[in-house]
Structure formats: C-alpha cells, structure tokens
Chains A and B, each alone.
Chain A
Amino acid sequence: MMATLGKTASYTIRTLCLVHLVHTNFYEFSETRGESMLPTLNATGDFVHVSKYYKDGKKIEIGDCIVASKPTDPHQRVCKRITGMPGDIILVDPSMGSKLNEYSTIIAQRIQDSKENHIDDQEYKELLDLMDETSTSKLSNFNEYVKVPPGHVWLTGDNLSCSVDSRTYNFVPMGLIRGKIVAANDFNKSFNDNFWGFRWIKNNYFTLGGKE
C-alpha cells in the first residue's frame, strides 16, 4: 500500500511540475477581472490566452496587451496595454489638467455662491488660499512630459477613466512583464456564439510615416 501511495505521489509531483513549467514559460489560460480594459476585455467572465514567449518584454511592441506584475505589489498581476516603449516621450495625462477637474474651479464657484450670501473676510481669505494651493500649476504632475527609460514601458488600460496604471505607479520595468495576451474567450456568451466568444486581441497601433 505504501508503494502505491508513493507511486501516486511521485506521478502527481511530476505532473504538477510539468504543468507549472508550461504555465510559466509557454502558455496560460486564466480569468481577468476589472473594468480597466473595457471594451477590449469584459469586466467579468473573460478568460484570456496568454503567451509566455513574450516574458520579460521579449519582442514586445507598442500597442500589445500584456500581463505584468504590479511594481508596488508583485503578487498582484495586471492586464494593460503598452502605450510607451523605451525612448518614447509621454504626456502623462492631459485630462487631469482640464479646468473641469480642477479643485480650484470648484472653490471659485463656492466663492461666487458665498459672495451672493455674504461670507466674512476670514473665510473668504481662506477660500482664496485654498484655490491658489490647488491650482493646476502647483499640483499637476499630470501635465508633464516624461521620457521612458531604457528597459521600461508605459502601461495604460483601455478604459482610461477607470484604470490604475502607469499614470499612478510610473514606468514598469520589462522584467515584470509576465506574458502577452493573444486571444480571449468570453464565458458570458454561449458555446454556439463563436466558441464562447473567442476573439484575437489585436494590436491596432501603427506609426504615422514611421519606420518601415
């Protein structure tokens, strides 16, 4: 009996290690969750086919969807799109510079409302100071241009308004790239609908008058 137990254990361990090796170095099929890649990937129920040939950023191009470990939490993995390669110059987030987003605009509106309702000088002065402190020129790191260092990439989700990406955790070293997403299956759809909604995840980026 001990012999068969030992034999089963030995087969199990060999199979598990083989599966683990394939999973890390060749191909993976796993679930994604989150709205940061809409409309490319669904918020729930989407399973992606990941090719591990592109591990560590090998032969990766701008516009590829990749799976990477988060720099600030390596146990967590993120699916994002590469929107900057080494040497590219990136404008971090022009939408953060919009007057509509500025807290100082909201303060100015409050001052306007308060003037109609008569506020005292102390409160008015405090509101003016707050408006000055929160104006774009002082707060915004988002309206800057940055250059991607060698060996790093700039990642953004397709759903920019709902994505924590390089705009938050800065450049991502290529050593954290775990693989490239080549295709996806949507299990919200039925089997008859193109094999559970199978589709290739394409790279639609092109360079205008760029290199041949």
Chain B
Amino acid sequence: MRTNNTTTHYLKQFFKPILISITWIPVIITFNNHVCFVARIDGRSMEPTLKSGDWVFLWKWNCTDINAYKRNDVILFKAPLNSKKVYCKRIKGLQYDSVIPKNINNTTSTDAKKLVHIPRNHIWCEGDNVFHSIDSNTYGPVSTGLCVGKVTKIIWPLSRFGTDLYESQGRTNVLYKK
C-alpha cells in the first residue's frame, strides 16, 4: 500500500546515513591510535611548560621507533610501574647515552659508578618540574615500546596556543660526556 512504502522510505532515509557513519568509526579509531590525537595533561610534573588541564596535540606515527625521537622532545608513555596510567615527560637521554641521575638529595654526582647507561631502544625521561616529578630517576630507562606519542603543540587554553615547548627544558647537565 502506498502509505507503507513512504514510511519505509523515510525510515531508510533516516537510518542509512547513521549506519554508514557507524562503519567509518573503526577508521577514525585507527587514525586516532596510529596517526594523531589529542590528550589532556594532568599533574604538575611538566610545569612551567605544560600545566594541569592543558590539551595538547599528540603525534602518534611510528611512536615505538627510537629514531622518531630527539633529545628534549616531550612524549607520552605508559607508566612502567602501572600499565593503566600514561605519563608525560621530556626525553633527556636516548639509547646508548650515559646519564647522571638526580640522586635522592637532589644533587648530582659525576661519580662513574652512579652513571646509568641506557640500553638499546630505551629512553631516559624527566619532568621539567625537577622537584615534583616521578620519572626515570625513580624507575630507570623506559622502553620505547611503552611510548604512546610525541607532544607537538598545545591547543588549549587558547592563550597558550602554540607555545614553544623547548623554551624551558628542565634539568640540564644530564648527559655524561667524557
């Protein structure tokens, strides 16, 4: 009958775009897991560069490859001590570097026995806020397999949009050079 045909036609018109959009969801999720995404920063360990509540743009392409990273990049990685958490820190040392860790008295020593040698495909991360950061000084070098992505830009709040993340770089004097 004519009325039945029109109702099914309108129903089709309504549901078809919805179903088509649902089939695009896996593509969006894959894109967000492997190319780029956004993230919200929590905690004080990266002050003054990144404050709690900031939103950043995250570049995820090739994020488990050591060659994608340079010293002083800001990255996100799964916490070694708790795989459910994600930490944001700055890379201070790459594979094969020797670093001088910050010891418990917040001083450093160039005593050769206290040097940490970073193994293959591992990185040394520290927070910019030297006194309020649980980082590689606590849990040692981090495998790049745990890395989630590189922070490239701050996108929120708009007042700090696009600030230079390399302006303040945390602790200097980390690498041991002979």
Q: Name A's B-contacting residues (CB within 8 A).
A: 13-14, 17-18, 20-21, 24, 56-57, 69-75, 149-152, 173-177
Whether the Cβ atoms of A176 and B82 lie closer than 8 Å is: no
Whether the Cβ atoms of B81 and A74 lie closer than 8 Å is: no
Whether the Cβ atoms of A17 and B78 lie closer than 8 Å is: no
Using an 8 Å CB-CB cutoff, how does the interface string of B86-108 with A read, 1 for contact, 0 for none? 00000000000000000000000
Partner of A173, one of B65, B80, B121: B80
B46-93 interface with A by 8 A CB criterion: 64-65, 78-84
Partner of B78, one of A21, A24, A56, A150: A56
Please provide the 8 A-B residue pairs with the shortest distance between their CB atoms, ordered closest to farther. Answer: A74-B145, A175-B78, A175-B83, A151-B81, A56-B83, A17-B26, A174-B83, A17-B30
A72 CA to B33 CA in the complex, in Å? 23
Interface: B36 (CB within 8 A): no
Question: Given A13-B27, A74-B143, do A175 and B122 touch, yes or no (CB 8 Å)?
Answer: no
Specify which chain A residues have a CB less than 8 angstroms from the CB of B132 in the assembled complex. none
A52 CA to B72 CA in the complex, in Å? 34
Specify which chain B residues have a CB less than 8 angstroms from the CB of A150 in the assembled complex. 81-82
Minimum CB–CB distance from B67 to chain A (whole Å) comes to 11
Question: Given A73-B121, A74-B121, A175-B146, do A21 and B26 touch, yes or no (CB 8 Å)?
Answer: yes
Q: Pick the most buried of B83, B120, B122: most chain A CB atoms within 10 A of its CB.
A: B83
Whether the Cβ atoms of A71 and B26 lie closer than 8 Å is: no
A176 CA to B84 CA in the complex, in Å? 12
Interface: B23 (CB within 8 A): yes
List 29 A-B residue pairs with CB atoms under 8 Å apart, sorted by A's residue number. Answer: A14-B26, A17-B27, A17-B29, A20-B30, A21-B26, A21-B29, A21-B30, A57-B83, A69-B143, A69-B145, A70-B145, A71-B143, A72-B122, A72-B143, A74-B64, A74-B145, A75-B64, A149-B81, A149-B139, A150-B82, A151-B79, A151-B81, A151-B82, A173-B83, A173-B146, A175-B78, A175-B80, A175-B146, A176-B143
Whether the Cβ atoms of B121 and A72 lie closer than 8 Å is: yes
Minimum CB–CB distance from B143 to chain A (whole Å) comes to 4
Minimum CB–CB distance from B175 to chain A (whole Å) comes to 21
Interface: B14 (CB within 8 A): no
Q: Pick the most buried of B78, B120, B143, B144: most chain A CB atoms within 10 A of its CB.
A: B143
Tally B residues with Cβ within 8 Å of A.
Answer: 25
Whether the Cβ atoms of A152 and B145 lie closer than 8 Å is: no
A70 CA to B145 CA in the complex, in Å? 8
Specify which chain B residues have a CB less than 8 angstroms from the CB of A177 in the assembled complex. 83
Using an 8 Å CB-CB cutoff, how does the interface string of B153-173 with A read, 1 for contact, 0 for none? 000000000000000000000
Specify which chain B residues have a CB less than 8 angstroms from the CB of A18 in the assembled complex. 26
Whether the Cβ atoms of B122 and A71 lie closer than 8 Å is: yes
Minimum CB–CB distance from A74 to chain B (whole Å) comes to 3
Minimum CB–CB distance from A154 to chain B (whole Å) comes to 14
Whether the Cβ atoms of A56 and B143 lie closer than 8 Å is: no
Minimum CB–CB distance from A151 to chain B (whole Å) comes to 4
Using an 8 Å CB-CB cutoff, how does the interface string of B1-38 with A read, 1 for contact, 0 for none? 00000000000000000000001101101100100000
Q: Quick one: closest A residue to B30, CB to CB?
A: A17
Partner of B120, one of A69, A73, A152, A176: A73
Whether the Cβ atoms of A173 and B143 lie closer than 8 Å is: yes
Minimum CB–CB distance from B88 to chain A (whole Å) comes to 15
Q: Pick the most buried of B79, B84, B122, B145: most chain A CB atoms within 10 A of its CB.
A: B145
Specify which chain B residues have a CB less than 8 angstroms from the CB of A175 in the assembled complex. 78-80, 83, 145-146
Question: Given A56-B83, A151-B79, do A71 and B121 touch, yes or no (CB 8 Å)?
Answer: yes
